[in-house]
Amino acid sequence: MNTITAAITAVGGYVPDFVLSNKVLETMVDTNDEWITTRTGIKERRILKDADKGTSFLAIKAAQDLIAKANIDPLEIDMIIMATATADMPVASTGVYVATQIGATNAFAYDLQAACSSFLYGMSTAAAYVQSGRYKKVLLIGADKMSSIVDYTDRSTCIIFGDGAGAVLFEPNYEGLGLQDEYLRSDGQGRDYLKIPAGGSLIPTTEETVKNRQHNIIQDGKTVFKFAVTNMADASELIVKRNNLTNEDVNWLVPHQANKRIIDATAGRMNLDDSKVLMNIERYGNTTSATLPLVLHDFEHLLKKGDNIIFAAFGGGFTWGSIYLKWAYDKK
């Protein structure tokens, strides 16, 4: 078979040491462990406490983990896609800095931002570069320091988000493994319901925007939940049907870790047994661009060559979609 497909050949991950548990949050805002667990499935999340470290630190750690495990030379990496909603700086690309810091000086790099769908969109982009035949090793990193944009007096958002990073390497495959199909969508009407209002060209930073906490993430929880449940489930069901897969054919669902109820609804639409749904939301919360690769990192030992995996995500914008991928290796 001479057709090039783009397969994931290595995985890396990193989460900070500091654990922010529901019990600790009870001392910070008016909430409790039972309420958080029942509504989100989250028990704790990791926080990067160092004030002098940004998203790049998390990304570098995840990339270095992948490079060490896969025993690859960073100079062989052709390009790096940095999926993130919390870039170190508004202009200087975080991905470019990460590439230099990990020694991938032969790679070109850039950032990709689609909120919680950033990594999913990045998978499509990385695969397209590989399938073009022009690039052999494309490193896709998903990383976010969500604690840098969360208002810890807002109980509707501070219970959800955590910090973390994950990375995958895409390489050419000639066995028909790797990315098989994708269904990606967006709807700009969603921009009012999940956003950081200030700091961009529309509302530049001023003393007033800082005072009014307009640089923190805000969301209309009920509206976002409704759209996420519907669209993640619809996209996943569509990709399965379009590829003539049954629930028996699907080995694993790798869903965005935003809310356990959204994940359950997606699995239910696909008629998947709970044992096929990979989740770590209880330990990390929503790490935005890092959720999908962190799931792969945590459960890599379960994945077998040829496994049919469905990825699904939903994010601000709104952005959402699903990807069907055949796993390319057994972990050694």
Catalytically active residues are 116, 256, 286
Q: Find where tokens 């047994």 sit.
A: 273
Q: Find where tokens 């044992």 sit.
A: 275
Residues 6 or more apart whose CB falls under 8 angstroms from that of 98 comprise: 56, 59, 60, 63, 80, 82, 109, 141
CB-based burial, 111-138: b 16+ in 10 Å, e otherwise: bbbbbbbbbbbbbbbbbebbbeeebebb
Determine the Cα–Cα distance for residues 235 and 145; give it in Å rounded to an integer: 27
Confirm if 162 and 217 have CB atoms less than 8 A apart.
no
Beta strands in the chain (DSSP E): 5-14, 18-21, 44-47, 79-83, 108-112, 138-145, 163-173, 178-186, 194-195, 218-219, 252-255, 308-315, 319-326
Give the torsion through C-alpha atoms of 12, 17, 23, 25, to 10 deg: -90
Determine the Cα–Cα distance for residues 217 and 155; give it in Å rounded to an integer: 12
Three-state secondary-structure class, residue 178: strand
Confirm if 314 and 262 have CB atoms less than 8 A apart.
yes
- Length of the chain (residues): 332
Determine the Cα–Cα distance for residues 87 and 221; give it in Å rounded to an integer: 24
* Maximum distance among all Cα pairs of the chain, rounded to whole angstroms: 61
Q: How far is CA 222 from the centre of its chain?
A: 22
Q: How many CB atoms lie within 10 A of CB 68?
A: 10
Confirm if 280 and 298 have CB atoms less than 8 A apart.
yes
